[in-house]
């Protein structure tokens, strides 16, 4: 069996193995990583040899770490990366190009409609009625989007939101509140089958699914890195954040918002929690904590989005696609029954 795992921002880890009587046999690690001392490669192979095939990634990583000689240097990979590659081999997990992808970038719609489309399109991918998809959002109105489990009254200052023209909506994924001013952010969603992230821990899947956008950002001169669990950052500050939702039918939603431009003062007047976060970090203003792409690149938002799409096409072979009329209808119905209701918005008071 053969498994591969490209460490986000790092190197490719490759494993080959057999299994007999429920145990891993004839295990070999390879890749374009760096490892010192040279003999540590044999130590890693020996650590995994004979482990039960049901061992999870963290158990495999612990065995690898325990087997490393004192002072060993792993550059471009980690014991956890070995564990992930082994699990992907055992479940024969596919890669990006094993799927037929499309990119959707259509008309601006309301915040609630964007959130409803996320649920509808994720469900369709899970059901096999839609190809795996990258969707670039466009907004016709500014919004504060709070996480599925956040308290409305703790996160948002309703008077500040109204004063600055921000609608308040709740998404189906967890995570923190995002200030999404129309034309000042770049938001994308990936709708993928669970098979793409088989064998990965939940945390590893965040890094894996955001690696393409790190490549895109680096191509426009931003030294972007992944900061666990769900932040995208550069040496100048935080750029954006991601969130996930996994549906029972096997559809996985991974979406991220990246700041193209930002008004730090507005952030502190609309988000309550932002004041505490800034105080906790000893930061004078939101503008200093979040550093947008406009100041780092000097590029137009539309040009950065095109670079994102070009990078994704190169990675996946994706074709341009559309949202069907019946998908829009399903999303409109979901807005009415869920996303526009007080029951959903205030599900956590």
- Answer yes or no: do 341 and 208 share one domain: yes
Of the residues 31, 55, 90, which one is the last residue of a structural domain? 90
Q: What is the mean pLDDT of the chain?
A: 92
Instruction: Give residue-wise pLDDT tens across range 302-319.
Output: 999 999 999 999 999 999
pLDDT surpassing 90 at residue 280: no
Pairing of strands 102-105, 167-170: unpaired
Domain count for the chain: 2
End position of a domain, from candidates 67, 90, 113: 90
CA distances to 51, 87, 165 from 14, rounded to whole Å, are 18, 11, 51
Claim to verify: residue 154 and residue 201 sit in the same structural domain: yes
Q: Which residue has the higher pLDDT, 293 or 236?
A: 293
Cβ(201)–Cβ(5) below 8 Å: no
Same domain, 155 and 285: yes
| Domain membership of residue 208 as a residue range | 96-345
Element (H, E) at 70: none
CATH number at residue 181: 3.30.930.10
Highest mean pLDDT among 191-205, 253-267, 300-314: 300-314
């Amino acid at each position: 069996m053969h498994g591969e795992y490209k460490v986000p921002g790092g190197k490719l880890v490759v494993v080959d193995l057999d299994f007999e009587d429920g145990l891993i046999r004839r295990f070999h690690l390879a890749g374009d990583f760096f490892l010192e001392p040279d003999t540590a490669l044999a130590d890693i192979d020996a650590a995994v040899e004979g482990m039960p095939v049901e061992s999870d990634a963290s158990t495999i990583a612990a065995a690898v770490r325990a087997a490393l000689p004192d002072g060993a240097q792993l550059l471009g990979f980690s014991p956890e990366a070995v564990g992930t590659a082994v699990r992907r081999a055992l479940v024969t997990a596919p890669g990006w190009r094993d799927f037929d992808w499309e990119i959707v970038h259509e008309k601006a719609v309301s915040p609630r409609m964007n959130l409803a489309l996320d649920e509808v399109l994720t469900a369709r991918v899970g059901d096999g009625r839609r190809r795996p998809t990258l969707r670039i959002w466009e907004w016709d109105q500014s919004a504060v989007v709070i996480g599925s489990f956040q308290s409305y009254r703790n996160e948002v200052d309703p008077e500040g939101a109204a004063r600055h023209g921000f609608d308040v909506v709740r998404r189906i994924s967890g995570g923190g509140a995002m200030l999404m001013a129309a034309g000042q952010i770049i938001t994308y969603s990936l709708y993928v089958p669970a098979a793409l992230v088989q064998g990965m821990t939940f945390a590893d899947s965040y890094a894996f699914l955001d690696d393409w956008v790190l490549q895109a950002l680096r191509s426009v001169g931003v030294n972007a890195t992944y900061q666990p669990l769900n932040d995208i950052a550069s040496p100048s500050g935080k750029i954006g954040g991601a969130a996930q939702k996994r549906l029972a039918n096997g559809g996985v939603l991974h979406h991220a918002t990246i700041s193209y431009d930002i008004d730090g003062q507005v952030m502190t007047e609309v988000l309550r929690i932002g004041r505490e976060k800034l105080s906790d970090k000893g930061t004078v203003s939101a503008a200093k904590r979040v550093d947008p792409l406009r100041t780092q690149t000097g590029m137009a938002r539309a040009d950065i989005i095109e670079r994102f799409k070009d990078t994704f096409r190169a990675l996946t072979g994706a074709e341009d696609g559309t949202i069907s009329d019946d998908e829009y209808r399903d999303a409109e119905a979901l807005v009415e029954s869920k996303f526009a209701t007080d029951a959903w918005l205030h599900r956590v008071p």
